[in-house]
Amino acid sequence: MASKEGGWMYEIQALPHMIDSDGTLLQGRRWTKEYEFSALGGISWAQVKSAAQVLGFKTPQDYGVLSWSGVDLEGFKKSMPKKQWFNNTNYNSTFDQFKASPGQPQLAGWFNDREKYKSQEPWSLNQTKPIEEYFMDFMNQVGGHVGWRGTYPLVLKTDAEYADDFIK
């Protein structure tokens, strides 16, 4: 967000295909202050509740915190005038009843540390098939809300199909 050009901040409704990365990686997570979720297959535009354009050259201090990990939606909205938030007319309010899934250790992956963690629980319990199969099993259980049809990649509507109605 400290770029010259700026960008966009999105308020996204979590759905079950989004997993708690911290709960997946547990002691194997590298950055402990980044509260991350992974959206398996992507995020549908229908999950975006609202968005705000972010001016360039912003720093965490502009939002009243010392680091980017301290910037949350509430603090961000307080620092931005309401008129800068755009509601997504294509938001699917039936998603309001859902939430993200907890950690899924069977879906954990590490770039360089796989050997270090694969023999530890809970990851050692999930070594019977490739991670891609665990992914498919998980998405078959929870992916229907975002259009999962049993194959990868997840086919979402394109931005062009939604964008014309978003900002007027």
Residue 149 has pLDDT above 80, yes or no: yes
Confidence of residue 38 (pLDDT cuts 50, 70, 90): very high
Give the separation between CA 37 and CA 21, rounded to whole angstroms.
Answer: 5
CA-closest candidate to residue 124, choices 111, 105, 110: 105
Give me the percent of the chain exceeding a pLDDT of 90.
Answer: 29
Q: What is the pLDDT of residues 51-105, one digit of tens each?
A: 888 777 777 787 778 887 777 777 777 776 666 788 999 999 999 999 999 999 9
Q: What is the mean pLDDT of residues 139-161?
A: 75
Confidence of residue 12 (pLDDT cuts 50, 70, 90): very high
Q: Which residue has better confidence, 39 or 2?
A: 39
Confidence of residue 167 (pLDDT cuts 50, 70, 90): very low
CB-CB contact of 26 with 104 (8 Å): no
Domains of the chain, with CATH numbers? 7-166 (3.90.210)
Nearest-5° Cα angle at 154, 166 to 145 = 70
Give the separation between CA 106 and CA 28, rounded to whole angstroms.
Answer: 13
Confidence of residue 8 (pLDDT cuts 50, 70, 90): confident
Q: What mean pLDDT value characterizes the chain? A: 81
What Cα–Cα distance (Å) separates residue 111 from each residue in 28, 107, 138? Answer: 11, 13, 21
Confidence of residue 162 (pLDDT cuts 50, 70, 90): very low
Nearest-5° Cα angle at 43, 38 to 49 = 115
